Amino acid sequence: MLRRSGFIFCLAVTVALMAVILLPLLVVVLGSCVNASLLGLSTDLWSGSRNDIFDFSAFAYIFQNYGDWALFSLELALGCVAICLLVAVPAGYALARHPFPGSLLVEELVLLPLSLPGITLSMGLLAAYGELRGPYLVLAGHLLYTIPFMLRVVTATLRSFDVGRLEAAARSLGATLPQRLFLVILPNLRHAMMVGSLLVFAVSWGEFNVSFLLNRGRPQTFPAVLYDTYTNQSIQISSAATTIFLAIVIPAVIAIQWLGGRESSDLEQGA
Amino acid sequence: MNILIEAHNLRKRYGTVTAVHDFSHRFAPGKITAILGPSGSGKSTTLAMIAGLIDPDAGSLLLGGNDITGLPAERRDFGLVFQNYSLFPHLTVVENVEFGLRVRGVGRAERRRKAAEALNQVHIQHLADRRIHQISGGEQQRVALARALSFTPQLLLLDEPLSALDAKLREGLRAELGRLLNELSLTAIYVTHDQVEAMSLGHELIIMQGGRIEQAGTPLEVYTRPATPFVATFLGSANLLEGECIRSQGQTRLRLPFIELPVPDGTPIGPCRVMLRPEDISIVADGDGQMCGEVTASVFLGNQARLTVVAGGCALSVDASNEAIPSTGDAVSLRVREAKLRIMPKGD
């Protein structure tokens, strides 16, 4: 009886917390397409037809006016993923497999940008590479924020299954360096690289400060659309922008959770 | 296809510590050589140098007379079984076993056939499609063995392969491993710290300590005629006593604190150390003994008891049958099996 009431209490707390977190998101999503009066909002903020319950014109407006911004953000996020895979995976392997005096310090230094405010990082980059201001400097700023995620995931995974041991086994079985890389190391890093890529994508897609400060002119990154529409446009249009933003980032976050859970359960099973 | 493997003065240093000093040995083709030693004795480093996973600082390794010292591990064609299995977690059992064939470019059908054969040898063909995390530790070790055997290696190296298993499983797998290796007549080097494993599996035994070979020989030779006090005490139990060989009345005699015994002529005269195993001292009826002692401790071991008997001021370990175990405080008569005495020059 006590256990049952405890369960009900925990469930109630969980549902209440979920409601607190999800309700604002729900309002935003509905605000993008449902008549404002139905949501109890002032109809002055409703840019669609006064009679329709649903109206998706705000999405069309966003795609029409900010489509290139979304595309730029996607390109930036995918570019970050590609560069992180090319740079952070080999670096993580080197740090985990061949540690040297000070290698832990190097790992910590790579994490440093995460603790710096975006404005500090941006000013530093502008001071050093001001003439590059524009998309490439935005990419550099995003990489400073995303490489630590990929590096951490890769080094933690490599350490969890002692890659040196598996490599020694592969060598004893006759595997050359490329065979060890493609048949042993990379397959065992598959989960880590997927989780790392999704993290990098989500961080880059959601980054605002550095992008805003380092970019020159238009298009800006997609979070700037939210800033632009919330300050200058109707709630319906800014809600549509937010809904698009969430539609991209939420699947990535869910995939990270799912893959992360699968990876840890594989490792716990002694694989 | 049993080729002679020879190690000549292999040496490995880590900073100021020499892990292996001038290891030299000719490994008998088609036989199992067990390298036995305590932790830090250099046995695993020696194995890793033979495997090609560690480069020696000096010395050479010959395979059929050809110098393979600089040959990387992946080109040596040696099978290696690790203590912690080191199976590939992303592959199934059969994929693990056929890995060595896959990297050699063997076709899928042929490698499946050979992998099935190797799995059959270790009786786990029914686990072929399982994931590694779905099988037990004992089964994982069988997979590791099948994987090392699948490509018919020139030499099989085993680094404490059973030490991660529980005692009962270890015993069963040890017997099976011995049978399989003898059936295959494969040259094998088996590193272990377990003397039962080393003596029961090894046709030849190398005892290492402090990075050096203390003694090499058949298990019987090493057990009955240990070359050094370390070997005497490391392999089985032994009483190590200070004594002196003297010439008296035309005879060579060994003088111990509690007894004086004739020993073969030619035994070096002077102070010596004497090894006497507990099983070579018998408790006999009063009057038949060579000396008397008092039992000061007794440990029951099931099939026998290990007694501590004080005789002539020396505490001796003595084995007693479980049919008549003297009690602590009892006076007992003892008789030494003189032929089993091992006299070593003092200073070893």
What is the ipTM for the molecules in this complex?
Answer: 0.83
Q: Cα B29 to chain center, whole Å?
A: 18
Of residues B262 and B159, which shows the higher confidence score?
A: B159
In this predicted structure, what is the pLDDT of residue B347?
A: 66
Alpha carbon A264 to chain centroid, angstroms? 20
Q: Which residue has the tokens 């059992």?
A: B93
Question: pLDDT band for position B46 (50/70/90)?
Answer: very high
Paired strand residues for B345: B272
SS3 A266: helix
What's the rounded mean pLDDT across residues B74-81?
A: 94
The reply to whether CATH 1.10.357.10 applies to domain B239-345 is no
User: Quick one: pLDDT at residue B57?
Assistant: 96
The ranges assigned to domains in chain A are 65-268
Non-local CB neighbours of A187 within 8 Å, separated by 6+ positions = B90
pLDDT at A58 (0 to 100): 85
Predicted confidence at residue B339, as pLDDT, reads 86
DSSP letter at A210 equals H
Confidence of residue B106 (pLDDT cuts 50, 70, 90): very high
pLDDT at residue A216 in the model: 82
Could B90 and A271 be called an inter-chain contact, meaning their C-beta atoms sit closer than 8 Å?
Answer: yes
Task: List, for residues A46-57, the tens digit of each pLDDT value.
Answer: 566 666 777 888
| Closest Cβ opposite residue A165 in set B84, B132, B157 | B84
Chain A residues near residue B100 by CB distance under 8 angstroms? 173-174
* Cβ distance of A170 and B88 shorter than 8 Å: yes
- Are A172 and B73 in contact (CB < 8 Å)? yes
The predicted model gives B55-79 an average pLDDT of 95
Provide the 3-class DSSP secondary structure of residue B290. coil
Q: Who contacts A261 (Cβ-Cβ below 8 Å, separation ≥6)? A: none
Give chain B positions within 8 Å (CB) of A266.
89, 133
Residue scoring higher pLDDT (B3 or B307) = B307
Q: Mean pLDDT over residues A36-52, rounded?
A: 63
Average pLDDT taken over every residue of chain B: 92
The pLDDT tens digits for A69-81 are 999 999 999 999 9
| CB-nearest partner of A166 from B72, B86, B102 | B86
Of B77, B86, B131, the CB nearest to A169: B86
* Architecture label for domain A65-268: Orthogonal Bundle (1.10)
Instruction: Give the mean model confidence (pLDDT) for residues B160-182.
Output: 88
Please give the pLDDT value at position A46: 58
Residue A266: per-residue pLDDT:
53
Break chain B into its structural domains and give their ranges: 5-230, 239-345
Average confidence score pLDDT of chain A: 87
- Cβ-based contacts of A190 with chain B (< 8 Å): 90
Angstrom CA distances, A190 to A158, A194, A223, B244, stand at 11, 6, 30, 70
Q: Do A271 and B80 touch (CB under 8 A)?
A: no
Do the chains contact at A174 and B80, CB–CB below 8 Å? no
Tell me how many residue pairs between chain A and chain B have CB atoms under 8 A apart.
76
pLDDT attached to residue B312:
83
| 8 Å CB contact of A173 and B151 | yes
> Whose structure tokens read 């290796």?
B181
Under the banding of pLDDT at 50, 70 and 90, the label for residue A270 is very low
What contacts B24, CB < 8 A, 6 or more positions away? B7, B8, B9, B10, B59, B213
Query: Across the interface, do B103 and A176 touch by the CB < 8 Å criterion?
Result: yes
User: What is the per-residue pLDDT for B1?
Assistant: 58
pLDDT, residue B89, reads 92
Q: Which residues of A touch B161 (CB under 8 A)?
A: none
Q: What is the value of pTM for the model shown?
A: 0.80
Cis-peptide, bond into residue A219, ω within 30° of zero:
yes
Residue of B nearest to A176 (CA): B74
Helix axes A135-160, A103-111, angle to 10 degrees: 130
Which one, of A228, A222, A229, lies nearest residue A208 by Cα? A222
Nearest C-alpha in A relative to B82:
A169
Question: Contacts of residue B87 in chain A, CB cutoff 8 Å?
Answer: 169
Which one of B54, B90, B106, B149 would you mutate to disrupt binding with A, by most A Cβ within 10 Å of its Cβ? B90
By a Cβ cutoff of 8 Å, what residues of chain B touch chain A? 51-53, 72-75, 77-80, 82, 84, 86-90, 99-100, 102-104, 131-134, 147-148, 151, 157
pLDDT digits (tens, 9 = 90+) for B199-225: 999 999 999 999 999 999 999 999 999
Strands lying side by side in the sheet with B239-248:
B259-262, B251-256, B239-248, B270-276, B342-345
Least confident of A214-218, B17-21, B99-103, B301-305: A214-218
Which of A109-113, A225-229, A255-259, B57-61 comes out lowest in average pLDDT?
A: A255-259
pLDDT tens column, A10-34: 999 999 999 998 888 888 888 888 8
- Percent of all residues in chain B with a pLDDT value above 90, rounded to a whole number: 69
pLDDT of residue A271: 39
Cβ of B53 within 8 Å of Cβ of A270? The answer is no
Of B80, B102, B134, the CB nearest to A172: B80
Q: Do A271 and B84 lie within an 8 Å CB cutoff?
A: no
Taking any CB pair shorter than 8 Å as contact, residues of chain A touching chain B are 161, 165-166, 168-176, 179, 183-184, 187-188, 190, 266, 269-271
For residue A1, the model assigns a pLDDT of 65
Mutate to test the interface with A, among B55, B77, B95, B99 (most CBs of A within 10 A): B99
CATH number of the B5-230 domain? 3.40.50.300
In what side-by-side order are the strands of the sheet with B5-14?
Answer: B17-27, B5-14, B58-63, B66-67
Point out the residue among B100, B133, B147 whose CB comes nearest to the CB of A270: B133
Residue A268 pLDDT greater than 90, yes or no: no
Q: Which of A50-64, B225-239, B272-286 shows the lowest mean pLDDT across its residues?
A: A50-64
Q: How far is B18 from chain A (nearest CA, A)?
A: 21
Query: Which of A56-65, A174-183, A220-229 ranks highest by mean pLDDT?
Result: A174-183
For residue range B111-125, list pLDDT tens digits in order.
999 999 999 999 999
